[in-house]
A and B are shown apart, each in its own frame.
Chain A
């Protein structure tokens, strides 16, 4: 591959690929994101390949070879965010989306759709009362506003050529040849993009702080640690549209004067690492990354570091320590990362989604970006919608959308028709929002005032059957386990808070425990060294604030109102129904049941381990959970 030496060569390349892409009259996009691969997507790709060859259909796997006539493109795309319905196959130009596709379906897809141009209704997405032919009509997508995730699922995730064909790296070219670094910063100022990694810090301000430093060497670091368990926005971007991330990092590097960058990727994302590595190699081979990019004097290299399983490494100073080959301990600030970050040099540290927003801002201008979302939180936000909701998946919505729209319009309401109870937003560092917040516009500041935060984008929807004390315990278990142990308030405080919560869910809590929790929460959040400890009490604080009665029920009545807490369950025998057959005594693993034949039996609650075995055994249905 010849390196591109100037902008004209890049433009010519892009034009060539665009024309080749346009000759693909039909495109078969097989989703090859982590989840769809798990559901068998690669076998589907292979099946299509084999079928097209067998049927002698001219098909194109890359854009490299020039085609005289029209052809059919077969590609592996990234994640559509609708993983539950996978494996997904999208067919263009019609935009048909086929769900839960099996290799056996491929032949019919080729005959009916690829060759016949008709929709194969059997495989489309359906709700109770309606079938949806195209992806865009599906309610899950209809209310979304996909900008950052625009290409996810719609382009070949392994191909630089295709990224170029749809106008990729055009913004980099524009910046390098038509804009000064200051011009780039001005657009970023105007856009008021705020960091998508959780804190919402203005990106332009961060870049300016780095730019101002006198050190010769500066770094650009991308935080792809995505620690919030249950969130996968960043995974999706890295896997589906890796070049967009690289382009965003390069624009940052150009703006602040950096020549070296790192991407720190969570250990559990091997596919993202593969795709990013490939993307870097492709860009280097083409002269888009490396020394003297496109013949200019701007040079930039990107390395990839894999995490090794420590949530705290998502914190800025721990992350840079980890890249340096040290233990991932956060350190006291100042000095801040912008002054002394990676290898003690000024460092731009941004989240994956933040960088992925940059190319379109530079392309369309900061003012354009300002027009989307709300005044103080422009743009969109990607959320991972999970929990007891009908449609789970990855969504992108304008800032300022309400929870109601997300849950009912996009999410399709609660799963199984249960009542909505709360959402946990921002994962283990965030808080919960309840029914009273359903119409609150979601943006950085509004959420903060409600005691929650946008966070990285995890949105766990919970229904009436969820125990909020158990939710708080679950998150505290997570943070306690992930506390790095460097500072005492977090190391000890999270342990004590977890112990108290464990006591409460086991029915051994006291009323004073609530006050103790609040006091500990206050101490830990004000005295901990890093964000992990500072935000660790948030789930406790917000669940006590909105669901104090549930805490009290566990403590005073020794009852879990939602019947979740195993240890508070009571298994009892109804004396009216019990015929005294003694069957249950034989299955009880701890001999907790006793009685006389033909008289009602009783369960000794101090012995019973609530295994439930007796319930199924009783022929008269006399044993119940109370």
Chain B
């Protein structure tokens, strides 16, 4: 297995939180920001360094919805299905994104690891409902067509990057 983790980076994160096991959530959050998911190796490493059972770290990583044990795509698209977005037709936007990318409720990341589509409840941008985020960027007032355009642009950018 190839090494995913840069242990120096993990050490930096631990250092920042003074090896305090009470900060485990923040430590995992920062790890996920680095890798876009929680690599398996990080669990072993943190368990050892923080002197806490690995099961406990797993239990936290699986309790909170934001943590992912699976690698996510380069572009993580979160579709808001909070009340405001739901009543302004967020579901057709979600359906369209999934259809364009061949994803379902069970399969959330494309095989080429480019896109992940998730559902969230409220991004706080309800005035622009329906809203989505692409990585951290909020985009509002979506329609299925607009969502498809956004995908097309991202894909286009990718093929340029490759060329």
User: A residues near B, CB below 8 A?
Assistant: 34-35, 37-39, 81-84, 86, 226, 228-232, 235, 266-270, 272, 305-306, 308-311, 322, 324-328, 384, 386-388, 392-394, 424, 427, 458, 460, 462, 466, 474, 478, 484
Contacts and interface: CB of A to CB of B under 8 A. Distances in A.
Contacts of B64: 308-310, 327-328
A344 to B, nearest CB: 13
Given A309-B64, A427-B83, A325 B126 contact: no
Nearest to B82: A229
B120 A38 contact: no
A394 B121 CA distance: 18
A427 B23 CA distance: 31
Nearest to A485: B63
Contacts of A272: 124
Contact of B128 (A84, A268, A387, A484): A84
Contacts of A462: 87
B117 to A, nearest CB: 16
* In the complex, the 3 A-B pairs of residues with the closest C-beta atoms, listed nearest first: A83-B127, A229-B82, A230-B83
A386 B22 contact: no
Contacts of B24: 325
Q: Which one of A35, A235, A267 has the greatest number of beta carbons of chain B within 10 Å?
A: A35
A460 B125 contact: no
Nearest to A38: B138
Nearest to A424: B83
A30 to B, nearest CB: 16
B65 A308 contact: yes
Contacts of B22: 324-325
Given A229-B82, A268-B122, A38 B26 contact: no
Nearest to B59: A327
Nearest to B129: A386
A309 B68 CA distance: 12
A81 B126 CA distance: 10
A230 B82 contact: yes
Contacts of B139: 38
A230 B136 contact: no
Contacts of B29: 306, 308
Given A305-B26, A308-B65, A310-B65, A229 B83 contact: yes
Given A305-B26, A325-B21, A38 B86 contact: no
B114 interface: no
A392 B122 contact: no
A39 B83 CA distance: 21
B87 A308 contact: no
Contacts of A35: 124-128, 138, 140
Nearest to B32: A308
Given A230-B126, A325-B23, 15 more contacts: A34-B138, A37-B138, A38-B125, A38-B128, A38-B138, A83-B128, A226-B122, A228-B83, A230-B83, A308-B25, A310-B63, A310-B65, A384-B126, A386-B126, A392-B126
Interface of B: 21-26, 28-29, 59-60, 63-67, 81-87, 120-129, 131, 136-140
B138 A322 contact: no
Contacts of B120: 268, 309
A460 B87 contact: yes
A34 B138 CA distance: 8
Given A84-B127, A229-B122, A230-B122, A328 B87 contact: no
B60 A326 contact: yes
A269 B128 contact: no
Contacts of B66: 267, 308-309
A386 B128 contact: no
Given A34-B138, A308-B25, A460-B83, A478 B60 contact: no
11 contacts: A34-B138, A39-B128, A230-B82, A230-B83, A230-B85, A230-B122, A267-B66, A308-B28, A308-B64, A327-B60, A474-B83
B63 A270 contact: no
Contacts of A474: 83, 86
Contacts of A228: 83, 122
Contacts of B124: 34-35, 226, 232, 235, 266, 268-269, 272
B21 A458 contact: no
Nearest to A269: B124
A535 B73 CA distance: 37
A269 B137 CA distance: 12
A474 B87 CA distance: 10
Contacts of A394: 127
B140 A38 contact: yes
Nearest to B52: A325
A393 B128 CA distance: 9
A229 B120 CA distance: 9
Q: Which one of B23, B59, B124 has the greatest number of beta carbons of chain A within 10 Å?
A: B124
A309 B23 CA distance: 16
B115 to A, nearest CB: 20
Given A270-B136, A310-B63, A386 B84 contact: yes
B84 A328 contact: no
Nearest to B63: A327
A86 B128 CA distance: 9
B92 to A, nearest CB: 11
A221 B139 CA distance: 32
A460 B122 contact: no
Contacts of B28: 308
A484 B64 CA distance: 10
Contacts of A226: 122, 124
Contacts of B136: 270
A230 B84 contact: yes
A232 B122 contact: yes
B1 to A, nearest CB: 27
A308 B137 CA distance: 18
B48 to A, nearest CB: 17
A270 B66 CA distance: 13
Nearest to B65: A309
Contacts of A306: 25-26, 29
A345 to B, nearest CB: 14
B25 A325 contact: yes
